[in-house]
Structure formats: C-alpha cells, structure tokens
Amino acid sequence: MKEMTPKERVMAFFRHEPVDELPTDEGIFVLFNPEAYKERPSHEHGGVDWFGVPWKYESSVDAIAPDHSVEPIMEDICDWRELVKFPDLDAWDWSKVEEIDHISEIDRENKVFEIMFVNGPFERLHMLMGFENALCALLTDPEEVEEFFNTYMEWKIKLMEKVIEYYKPDVLMFHDDWGTQNNMFFSPDVWRSLIKPQIKKAVDRCHELGVLFDMHSCGKIEAVVPEFVELGIDAWQGMEINDIPKLKSITGMNLGYHTTPDYQGYQTEALAGTLTEEDLRKRVREVFEKTAEGYCYCPMFLPFGGWSTEVMIDEIMKCGKTIYKDA
C-alpha cells in the first residue's frame, strides 16, 4: 500500500477502507464549534440559545451547560406545541458565517473539517424540560415525545441542510448523549422506539448531502452501539468506558470507533500526584493495543490540558505509527 497523507487516513477511517497506519496525526482534525448561529451560546460566556434556554459557563470543566437553577421552558411535554418556539432558519443572515467563523481560513486540503452539530433530540428535550421531567416524559407520554421529536428533527434537518450548504464540512459530528459512566439514561427499548428512528433520519439526510456522519454520544451505551451499523452511522465518537473490543467484534468493518480515552481518570490521578509519566504511557499503550486491534479505530481527545494530556497525545501518535504496522 502506498503511503497515505494524514487526511487520506482519516477519510479512509470514516469510509471503513484500508489505511497504511492508524490516523493518529496530531492536529489533523478541525473540530469546529460554530459561533455564527446560536443553537448553543458562546462557549466562553454562556447566554441564551435560540430556543430561549439559559446556559452558564462552568470553569471547573471549561464548558457551558443549561442553567437548571432557572425554571424550564416547559414541565409537561403535552405543552410543547404552545411553549416551544422553533427559530426561523430562513430569517437568519447566513452570510455572517464567513464574517464570524472565518471558514475560508480552514486548510481544507490537509485538514479534515468536522463540524459540531449539537443538541440532538434527547439533549434538546431535557434542555427544554429539565432532566427529570424529560426522563419521566419518555415513560409517561411517549406519544407526545414522539410528536415533539418528529417536529424537532424536521427543523433540525433543515438546520443541517443550511450548515452543510454554508460550512461545507467533510464530517458532521451529531451530538446526543445517552448515558452515564454506568449505563444508559433510559432502557435500550426506549431508545429504539423514540430516538433511533430520529437518528436514522439525520444519518440518511446527511449522506444524501454527501457528508460523513460521526455520532457523538457519551456514556456507557454499548447496549445499542451494534445497531449503529443498521442506522448507517459512519463512526461513533464514544468513550473508553465501553467494551470497545467486544463491540468491534460485533460490528466488524462496518463502524469506525472514534474513541475518547479515559482522560478524566488520568488527569485526576495526575492532579493527585499518583500518576507517573512512565505509568501513563504504559497504560495508554495497553489500551491502544486492545482497542485498535483489527481496524476502524481513531482515538480522539476532549482534553483539559496539562502534562497528562500532552503525554497521552504523544504516546498515541507513536502507537499509531508502530502498533498497526507491526500487527
């Protein structure tokens, strides 16, 4: 096989094609969080999103989250038709995309442009209702939830069409978190009946528009990951807490694993002074060898910074250039 460029390796990963080495080159992704439109407010400051949901910045995790100290927009899912106001996408000045996000500056020849597409159906539901109310609605009023999801995803896909038209990404990273560190927020059957059909709509339309689909979903959700193949998802951006080798044995070459290592655990140990660089490199390499066996594996980070993150990135880059070739 001829030597591939870093971008060729990443695109082959998403297309489940052979590569000369695993795509671990640092900086190859442009993980882009748009600021031009306000489905989510400014990452640094928080604010109010398009739907009227207030967000606040949490310095401890360097992220924004819905401010649930404020009363939710609705408490009863049956009120969604009256209380949820869907933004008019045609009224937005999409010419501001270049002015605000400077997308013409992206090195599209050498970088993989992956745009963040946040707030999937379940995320938007709990942002509007609060988490407890949303979880209860899935069980007490599934028909109303389904009607809301249908309407929301019709709007969401129109937004997808606008984003792809104006930003022209290689990959769309669709966000919808479904789990904790221990299990899913809801049963797999609830996911299958209410959420899975909505994700299928998004995948199909994304592919029709010529863009690859990277499903971002945090938590231990391994009970439903094998069904991602049926949905046509190109890659899953998940967490190391799931049994990646077991899942890969089920999905084979039909799903890419865009996996986030347990960087929170490593950083906690580093801050506590119980982690050495030698031990961290050893553990990262062991995880890499276990999860990268076969193919369709591409590690990624959502790091907080610090020496442990720098060491992880360095070791994974070395692994990608040695382990796969030696296999």
pLDDT on residue 327: 45
> What residue spans define the domains of the chain?
6-29+99-259
* Span 59-112, pLDDT tens digits: 777 788 899 889 999 999 999 999 999 999 998 889 889 999 999 999 999 999
* Span 168-217, pLDDT tens digits: 999 999 999 999 999 999 999 999 999 999 999 999 999 999 999 999 99
DSSP three-state, residue 309: helix
Characterise 168 by phi-psi region: left (phi > 0), alpha (psi -120 to 50), beta (else): left
Burial class (CB in 10 A: 0-12, 13-18, 19+), 209: middle
CATH entry, 6-29+99-259, from 3.40.50.150, 3.20.20.210, 3.20.20.70, 3.60.90.10: 3.20.20.210
Q: How confident is the model at residue 223 (pLDDT cuts 50, 70, 90)?
A: very high
Query: Measured between alpha carbons, how far is 130 from 53 in angstroms, rounded to an integer?
Result: 10
Query: Measured between alpha carbons, how far is 310 from 281 in angstroms, rounded to an integer?
Result: 11
pTM equals 0.93
DSSP three-state, residue 29: strand
